[in-house]
């Protein structure tokens, strides 16, 4: 499989803020519970937001360069067999974040995504 240049991580502002100083993001509670960091491709992002973040505000969307994650980025089947990117064995280095944007998800799961999502 050819990896896209960018994948996306959705985080709460509170969980992500300390990473700006430390240089690495350990992830959300679900990441710690599952033993890897969850990401979505641009195509998967809308459904991820709808299913897991409906009605939430104060979120940050991180665009992450896949090339900087190396062999710890594993593509695994999930929802209906679609391959999702998961990061194992390391926190997310902030240097791999190409850009970040504040987002909110409506109660119905809809969200206006930044134009840069591709």
d(CA 42, CA 21): 27
- Left (φ > 0), alpha (ψ -120 to 50) or beta: where does 66 sit? alpha
Name residues whose C-beta falls within 8 Å of residue 18's C-beta, 6 or more positions apart in sequence: none
In terms of Cα–Cα distance, which of 101, 109, 95 is closest to 62? 101
The whole-angstrom separation of Cα 87 and Cα 24 is 13
Q: For residue 107, what are the CA distances in angstroms to 89, 91, 101, 104?
A: 34, 30, 19, 10
Topology (CATH) of 6-103: ADP-ribosylation fold (3.20.170)
Q: What is the pTM (predicted TM-score) of this model?
A: 0.94
Mean pLDDT by 10 residues, the chain (118 residues): 90 96 96 96 95 96 97 90 94 97 96 92
What's the pLDDT score for residue 81? Answer: 86
Q: How many angstroms separate the CA atoms of 99 and 5, rounded?
A: 13
CA 40 to chain centroid: 6
The pLDDT, as a whole number, for residue 1 is 61
- Tell me the domain boundaries of the chain: 6-103
């Amino acid at each position: 499989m050819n990896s896209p240049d960018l994948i996306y991580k959705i985080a709460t502002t509170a969980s992500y803020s300390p990473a700006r100083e430390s240089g690495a993001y350990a992830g959300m509670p679900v990441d710690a519970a599952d033993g890897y960091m969850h990401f979505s491709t641009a195509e998967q992002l809308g459904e991820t937001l709808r299913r897991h973040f409906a009605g939430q505000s104060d979120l940050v969307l991180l665009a992450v360069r896949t090339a900087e994650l190396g062999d710890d980025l594993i593509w695994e089947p999930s929802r209906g067999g679609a391959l999702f990117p998961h990061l194992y064995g390391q926190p997310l280095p902030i240097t791999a974040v190409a850009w970040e944007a504040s987002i909110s998800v409506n109660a119905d799961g809809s969200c206006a995504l930044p134009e840069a999502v591709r």
